[in-house]
Amino acid sequence: MSSRYADFVGEVFGFDHGSRLRELPLPDPSAPIPELELQAQWFAGEFGRDFTSPDGETIEVVQFGHWNRGAGPDFTEAAVKVDGELRRGAIEVDLEATSWEGHGHGENPAFDEVVLHVFLGKFDAEAPRF
């Protein structure tokens, strides 16, 4: 590569004179997903609409609701069917099942309308349930 061209490429694209390639490390796949990313994937329907609860109930998401970026549940005005029974309210999405109590949702009246708590982590049947 000519020196003038290398200088041009360096100025325009930020490359060193000796290299045309820039690589960025990919995120560590074992690193936890940010909760905001989890919410975005949920809202986009990337996990599907049909689930089974830890108790064996069939869950169908009829309406994902409105994404709430403020205080309170993550999604409001949602609709889900639990064993065929339609329930309307809010949906909370967390990384772990234990986040419900860990984040204080059980004591917060803003979460009284939650009809579905979704979590990504593995369910621990031995953990306390509320």
pLDDT in tens, 86-126: 999 999 998 888 888 888 888 999 999 999 999 887 655 55
Q: Is residue 70 part of a domain?
A: yes
Q: Is residue 84 part of a domain?
A: yes
Task: Return the beta strands (E) in the chain as ranges.
Answer: 50-52, 58-63, 66-67, 75-82, 85-94, 114-119
Q: Is residue 126 part of a domain?
A: no
In percent, the amount of the chain with pLDDT more than 70 equals: 69
Domains in the chain, number: 1
Write the pLDDT tens digit of every residue in 3-44.
666 666 566 555 555 555 555 555 566 667 788 999 999 999
pTM listed for this prediction: 0.71
Q: What is the pLDDT of residue 116?
A: 93
Q: Is residue 7 part of a domain?
A: no
Q: Is residue 107 part of a domain?
A: yes
Q: Is residue 65 part of a domain?
A: yes
